[in-house]
Amino acid sequence: MAQLAGNFPLTAHRSPEGWFHTRGKAMTRQVIQLSVKSYLLIAALLIVSTVLTASPQPPPPESKKDTPDKVTPTEAEKETRRAAEQVVGGIELEILSDQKWNKVNRIEKPLLLFSDSTREYARGSLWAWGDKGRPVALLELFQEGNDRTQWIASLCNTSGGRLRAKRAGSIWWGANNSTVEIKDIPQAPVPAIDSSQRQRQMKLLAQKFTGHEFWDNSRFELRRIERPVLTYQDEAAGVLEGGLFILANGTNPEIFLFIEARVNPKDKSKAAWQFLAGRSADGELHLEYDSKDVFSAPRFWPSDLATPYWARRIDTKSGSDPEK
């Protein structure tokens, strides 16, 4: 055992003052060690916090319900659109107003691109004419098989008035009267004052509409495309809010459904939700609201030039329009 000078052993008794002195040094060392560890821990947390703050944080996810999808069209879709634009660009639509035929402008972009694997329809697009408010006419354009020169076009008069169309300088769609009928939506809420709230009401009302069709002796349940392909307002016509919804086979439009918050023409202080439906197929069509039939159309292929629903083949190679 090691000894101090004077042969006093290391384990010799200390005075109370010496004991406290030694003990105090030990405690001081522990405090210093704890303080250093605490400072190191705090410094580490500050570094991590700084890194997290400096790192770019992803934005919160947007609501899919109210935010439209941004989809970049493929080269094939761009080519399809260019070819379809050449066809619809040659159609001149006119509406009868004040006893005169007046040209109606086409909405520049297609409202929808679609296909239908059930019927082997491809390269489809939906177009509309109208300067404001509800479109006065809708045109569905698509192809069958691989022949890129043959198109099928179908038109529906949604104006509530009289339309006609020319192509290549000649009457192509004869003068016809619209058969669409505006009806009240049963037990619908009072339209909201705010436009964004009315749009939410409109989408909720659309969810209560269902449809089906009979095609080649088979029944097909139609799928309602969740979002309207077009929304609009027309104060002059009393339309506070309007939207065009599609009931489709696949994505192929079969029934057009317009839902509108309209001011009562007799009492301008009151408004109500109303709807009107139009056909975009020659099959037998049925539209229900809350499981009750509210619109139907028999199977029909128009052979008359002057009908409010009209369909025709277009041959872009020969320039003629053969019968179906």
DSSP letter string, 149-196 = TEEEEEEEE-SSSEEEEEETTEEEEEEEE-----EEPTTPPPPPSSHH
pLDDT at residue 57, as a whole number? 46
What does the DSSP 8-state code read for residue 35? Answer: H
Condensed to tens digits (0 to 9), the pLDDT of residues 87-123 reads 999 999 999 999 999 999 999 999 999 989 888 888 9
Please tell me the number of Cα atoms within 13 Å of 323 on its side-chain side.
5
Q: How confident is the model at residue 46 (pLDDT cuts 50, 70, 90)?
A: very low
pLDDT tops 90 at residue 195 = yes
CA distance 13 to 58: 68
CA distance 100 to 106: 19
Q: How confident is the model at residue 78 (pLDDT cuts 50, 70, 90)?
A: confident
Q: What percent of the chain has pLDDT over 90?
A: 60
Condensed to tens digits (0 to 9), the pLDDT of residues 127-178 reads 999 989 999 999 999 998 788 889 999 999 999 999 999 998 899 999 999 9
pLDDT at residue 265, as a whole number? 74
Q: In the sheet where 137-144 sits, what is the strand order?
A: 112-116, 121-129, 137-144, 150-157, 309-315
Contact 246, 285 (CB under 8 A): no
pLDDT tops 80 at residue 65 = no
Q: What percent of the chain has pLDDT over 70?
A: 76
pLDDT at residue 294, as a whole number? 97
CA distance 35 to 260: 71
For 279, residues 6+ apart whose C-beta sits below 8 A from its C-beta are 156, 254, 255, 256, 285, 297, 300, 309
166 vs 17, residue with greater confidence: 166
pLDDT tops 50 at residue 50 = no
Find the range with the poorest average confidence among 47-61, 194-208, 284-298: 47-61
CA distances for 94 relative to 71, 121, 176, 236, 313, angstroms: 33, 29, 11, 20, 21
Give the mean pLDDT of the chain.
Answer: 81
pLDDT at residue 322, as a whole number? 54
Range 229-233 average pLDDT: 97
Closest Cα to residue 80, out of 43, 115, 125?
A: 125
Find the range with the poorest average confidence among 134-143, 199-208, 211-220: 211-220
CA distance 156 to 179: 10
pLDDT at residue 171, as a whole number? 94
Contact 251, 225 (CB under 8 A): yes
pTM of the model: 0.75
SS3 (DSSP) at 91: strand
Range 70-82 average pLDDT: 75
Contact 101, 94 (CB under 8 A): yes
